Structure 1
Amino acid sequence: MPFSFLKRNRTSQASTRFPPFAVDMHAHILPLLDNGPQSLEESVALIQEMASQGLRKIIATPHIMGEFYENSIENIRNSRNRLRSELIRKCISVEIDMAAEYYLDVSLVHMLEQGQPLLAIQDTYLLLETSIVGRPSFLYEAIELIQKRNLVPVLAHPERYHYLQQNFDLVIDLHRRGVLFQLNLNSWQSNHLATRQLAERLTTEGLVSFVGSNTHNQREWSHIKDSIHSTVFARLVEKGLLNSHLL
């Protein structure tokens, strides 16, 4: 049975003057910060490809992950500003904003408890990822801490997490607690059956608030971009996404 009572009234992007995928709110486009582009030139080439598909704004979300990706607001801002300058120099018209994709571990919980500054999308949405396999023991604690900061937790690519693939009741519980879900753009074409199935169910139930490419390079983007023109993406747009509200 569809959980229609959980669906929010959202303005469909189909009725706006923007392209269906005008804002990518989850992309690894900043050079030399994580597993994204390894040079400024690679970043520019990737963004040129993305802009050619109608993207008007890309929100860079480099990983912040304990001791593995020790990015800071300062080095993310510096990288973003350098990239912006290069895009202006090359007359590439696409807006580059910045946030981060936070890995939910004890270091993030500590940052939340200590009230440390965080890079949220438009100072509102905090993008999170977790372990693929197991649910973090402090998942609910982290959600409450985020909300106490007047931020909205957004779970990146929930369709990939084994613990959600095996327990849709937990998906519903997280949604009821105010967690929004960001689906990866080509997840419904994944080679992994459980990922495809959960992506389809999230779409059917109207539980997807954002779609992001989660792209890291041109090769990935070449496999992702055709999803913009798929029937599944059209259904997501029809049900209502929040991406265009980030323009």
Structure 2
Amino acid sequence: MASFLKKWFGEETPPPVTNFLEFLGTDMHAHVLPGLDDGADSMTQALAMVQEMQQLGYRKLILTPHIMGDFYKNTPDGIKAKLAELKQVVQQQGILIELGCAAEYYLDEWFVQRLEDKEPLLTFGDNYVLFETSFINEPMRFQEIIFKIKSNGYTPVLAHPERYSYLYNRWNSLVEWHENEVLFQINLNSLVGYYGPEAKRMAEKLLHHKFIDFVGTDAHSEKHVRVLQKLAGSSTFEKLRQLPLRNQAL
């Protein structure tokens, strides 16, 4: 019967690998809080994502909605309120996982104004601030903004540097930024080619040079969580396991 089904339907889908990301402990970049950005759009979807991420081995999730001055106008109070709602649902379902929140700040004029006004930012771990830039255009005044972040007592963490096309031929800029204590977080799915060959190449180069401080799922949906299965058992994954990633201390 099994051979007949295999002939009819093709290769059987292997069972999902569980707990292979247990060594990380914490995912520090995910868009799970429902209805706040382009991530989970309902509490049902958010709950499903949390369950699947727990099955991968995560014991803690730091949920990081976008904050963009002209598009995702989220606030710390609004993010914390949505986190409280999700925590209640997760507890009711008996899912044993710790949930926290921060944000993924877009490097725009509104972000700079927050720094100049000394407005408290949403952070994780040791006062880390996660930020992103345009994918295609180099941010203006980048070094000046990094200086402002540090002057306000935060440690800057650049989200998915492997995905910025303006950096694909500027490896020396990445080296300079990292030497200037800008920490790097890559997306795990970049290592399996989910975002294209250039992002994969850059992620592998960052891995080779040990320029990776954090890794995140950057999960916006259950699909993103399931793609992670491709990483399990790969040679790239074994190299990743050898890095002193800061996820483990969160």
TM-score (norm 2): 0.88
Within-5 A mapping of 1:51-70: 51-70=54-73
- Counterpart of 2:175 (choices 172, 177, 181) is 172
Residue matched to 2:137: 134
Higher RCO (CA < 8 A, seq sep 6+): 1
Q: Say yes or no: does 1:112 pair with 2:115.
A: yes
CA distance in 2, matches of 1:55, 1:141: 36
- Whether 1:227 and 2:231 are equivalent positions in the alignment is yes
Query: In the TM superposition, what whole-angstrom CA distance separates every residue of 1:4-39 from its partner, at most 9, and x where no partner exists?
Result: xxxxxxxxxxxxxx9223210000010000011111
CA distance in 2, matches of 1:136, 1:188: 25
Is 1:19 the counterpart of 2:19? The answer is no
Secondary structure in structure 2 of the residue aligned to 1:186 = helix
- Counterparts of 1:80-91 in structure 2 under 5 Å? 80-91=83-94
RMSD: 1.3
For 1:231 and 1:96, locate their aligned partners in 2 and report how far apart those are by CA, in whole Å: 30
Identical pairs, percent: 38
**Cα shift readout 1:177-204 (whole Å, capped 9, x = no counterpart):** 1100001001122252221111111000
Q: Secondary structure at the match of 1:121?
A: coil
Alpha-carbon spacing, 1:84–1:229, altered in 2? closer, same or farther (3 Å): farther
Q: Which digits, 9 at most, give the CA deviation of each residue in 1:101-147, with x for residues without a partner?
A: 00001110111111001001135110010000111112111100110
8 Å contact 2:30–2:64 — kept in the other structure? yes
Q: Which residue of 1 aligns with 2:156?
A: 153
State which drifts further: 192-201 or 30-39.
Answer: 192-201
Deviations 1:154-180 (A, max 9, x none): 000000001211100000110111100
Deviations 1:38-77 (A, max 9, x none): 1111101110011011110000000001120000000100
Distance in 1 of aligned mates of 2:243 and 2:54: 24
* Correspondence 1:45 to 2:48: yes
Question: For the Cα contact (< 8 Å) 1:185–1:228, is it kept in 2?
Answer: no
Mapped contact 1:21–1:228 kept (Cα < 8 A) = no
1:228, CA displacement in angstroms?
4.5
Q: TM-score, normalised by structure 1?
A: 0.89
SS where residue 239 of structure 1 aligns?
A: coil
Separation in 2, partners of 1:36, 1:97: 16
Which runs of 5 or more structure 1 residues have no equivalent in the other structure?
1-17
- Rounded Cα–Cα distance in structure 2 between residues aligned with 1:95 and 1:55: 9
Counterpart of 1:72 (choices 71, 75, 80) is: 75
- Give distance in 2, aligned partners of 1:118 and 1:109: 11
